[in-house]
Amino acid sequence: MKKNKKLSGVKEIARLADVSIATVDRVIHNRSGVSAITKSKIEKIIKELNYQPNILASRLASGKVYRLAVLIPKGSERTDFWDAPLKGIKRAEEEIRQYGISVDFFFFDLNNKDSFIDSAQKIKNNKRFDGVLLAPSFVKESIQFIHYCEQDTIPFVFIDSNIEAKGILSYIGPPLFQSGFLGARLCAIGMRHTQKILFVNISKESNSFNYSKIEEGFKNYFFENDVDHQLIKLDITDTEKKSVFLNLEKIFFQHPDIEVIFVTNSRVFYVAQFLESKKYAKIHLVGYDFSKENQNYLKNGWIDFLICHKPEEQGYKGLMSLYHHIVLKLPVDQIYFMPIDIVTRENQDFYR
């Protein structure tokens, strides 16, 4: 069937299918009231004509407002990491606001599980959201929340960290295994004599899925490259500075010849502060995220490498993915891995 350029809109589809314009409109916007045979016939004609409906114009004409909820950690005095994803989300919000999209923000404290529960409950109580963007920092509580989303058929997108969930629309964040693998490669640079590596996780509640993937990638580097090393693991669940220092003092008392430290998250600056206070200048330190606290210690040489995953872009793409799926009816990537950047003292002034 040849495309008629003069009549290649809804009227032409209706003429060729021998149905009313209203019937074609129902099929385009996936509304009920059309038999399976008629729907199949219309869809075949749409495909043959390569017709691209102006969904946005049609949605604006309807006057419907789509409401999206954002559930992420709030920035704190301890770390400003979450200021970056928030900046990206707000950038996306500015772009889509003109199309009748409303975005509501719900924040929680990374050190307070109850604050996540409270914010998630506020979203549930509202019952008017068409999609949710969230960081599943507390695993058990996040699973309970997404069960609610699945029951109410509310699309949801994860950013920064991931958990196993069948109904997820998209995960936007780091490729965790590869990130851990790269972390090990950067650590190997600092190995000299004892080959002792301290593997540190500083988190109130570890996301076991993320942590295990990073650890798996980290160990795999040494296995694949047959590199001799001694790995010492340290989990610090009390994220107060005093507690972090106390745990590090204990481990250094047991292993005074540690050469390299790898920190699995953005709290690497705590370890840098400890090393500075003890004047352990020769220890090679690798961690995550280009936060203000980490930048200072990178510049001063206490941190050797920072691994970064473009957190601002995670926030931006997360909200835009919901917009594309819900409003424009466009396909989105179920998994979208962010690039892995390496930031050093030499290039940090030019990193964005």
Q: How far apart are CA 5 and CA 333, in angstroms?
A: 33
Q: Which pLDDT score is estimated for 4?
A: 43
Q: Which pLDDT score is estimated for 178?
A: 97
CATH number of the domain at 41, please: 1.10.260.40
**Per-residue pLDDT band at 256 (split at 50, 70, 90):** very high
pLDDT over threshold 80, residue 55 = no
Q: Which pLDDT score is estimated for 203?
A: 85
18 domain-assigned: yes
Identify whether residues 95 and 161 lie together within a single domain: yes
pLDDT cut 70: percent of the chain above it:
92
Give this prediction's pTM.
0.80
Q: Which pLDDT score is estimated for 54?
A: 67
Q: Which pLDDT score is estimated for 52?
A: 67
Mean pLDDT computed over every residue of the chain: 89
Identify the H or E element spanning 157: strand 156-159
Q: How far apart are CA 238 and CA 3, in angstroms?
A: 67
Q: How far apart are CA 51 and CA 187, in angstroms?
A: 54
96 domain-assigned: yes
pLDDT over threshold 50, residue 6 = no
Q: Over range 277-298, report the average pLDDT.
A: 95
Helices (H), the chain: 10-17, 21-28, 36-49, 55-62, 83-96, 113-126, 139-151, 176-188, 208-224, 241-254, 268-278, 292-299, 311-326
Beta bridge partners of 100: none
Q: Which pLDDT score is estimated for 209?
A: 66
Q: Which pLDDT score is estimated for 132?
A: 97
322 domain-assigned: yes
Q: What is the DSSP letter of 114?
A: H
Task: Kindly give the pairing relationship between strand 341-343 and strand 305-308.
Answer: antiparallel
pLDDT over threshold 60, residue 3 = no
**Per-residue pLDDT band at 68 (split at 50, 70, 90):** very high
**Per-residue pLDDT band at 127 (split at 50, 70, 90):** confident
Q: How far apart are CA 44 and CA 37, in angstroms?
A: 11
Q: How far apart are CA 284 and CA 227, in angstroms?
A: 17
Q: How far apart are CA 55 and CA 67, in angstroms?
A: 17
pLDDT over threshold 60, residue 130 = yes
Q: Which pLDDT score is estimated for 111?
A: 84
Q: Which pLDDT score is estimated for 5?
A: 43
Number of structural domains (the chain) is 3
Q: Which pLDDT score is estimated for 21?
A: 83
347 domain-assigned: no
Identify whether residues 187 and 217 lie together within a single domain: yes
Rounded CA Rg of the chain:
25
Q: Which pLDDT score is estimated for 234?
A: 96
Q: Over range 107-130, report the average pLDDT.
A: 93
Identify whether residues 255 and 160 lie together within a single domain: no
263 domain-assigned: yes
345 domain-assigned: no
Identify whether residues 149 and 215 lie together within a single domain: no
Q: How far apart are CA 338 and CA 341, in angstroms?
A: 9
Identify whether residues 280 and 315 lie together within a single domain: no
Identify whether residues 11 and 99 lie together within a single domain: no
Identify whether residues 77 and 49 lie together within a single domain: no
Identify whether residues 133 and 214 lie together within a single domain: no
The CA-based angle 114-120-125, given to 5 degrees, is: 120
- Non-local CB neighbours of 163 within 8 Å, separated by 6+ positions: 136, 139, 142, 143, 207, 209
Give pLDDT tens digits for 141-185: 999 999 999 998 999 999 998 888 878 999 999 999 999 999 999
349 domain-assigned: no
pLDDT cut 90: percent of the chain above it:
66
Give residue 22's domain range. 5-53
Nearest residue to 64 via CA among 312, 309, 327, 275: 327
Identify whether residues 181 and 291 lie together within a single domain: yes
Identify whether residues 164 and 207 lie together within a single domain: no
Position with higher pLDDT, 45 vs 310: 310
Q: Which pLDDT score is estimated for 62?
A: 62
Q: What is the DSSP letter of 4?
A: -
Name residue, tokens 């295990």. Answer: 212
**Per-residue pLDDT band at 60 (split at 50, 70, 90):** low
**Per-residue pLDDT band at 1 (split at 50, 70, 90):** very low
Give pLDDT tens digits for 185-234: 999 999 988 999 999 999 876 556 678 899 999 999 999 999 999 999 99
CATH number of the domain at 200, please: 3.40.50.2300
pLDDT over threshold 60, residue 265 = yes
pLDDT over threshold 70, residue 269 = yes
The CA-based angle 44-45-50, given to 5 degrees, is: 100
**Per-residue pLDDT band at 56 (split at 50, 70, 90):** low
Identify whether residues 269 and 328 lie together within a single domain: no
Specify the range with the lowest mean pLDDT, choosing from 53-57, 113-117, 126-130, 346-350. 53-57
286 domain-assigned: yes
Identify whether residues 150 and 69 lie together within a single domain: yes
Q: How far apart are CA 96 and CA 218, in angstroms?
A: 40
**Per-residue pLDDT band at 337 (split at 50, 70, 90):** very high
CB atoms within 10 A of CB 329: 13
pLDDT over threshold 70, residue 334 = yes
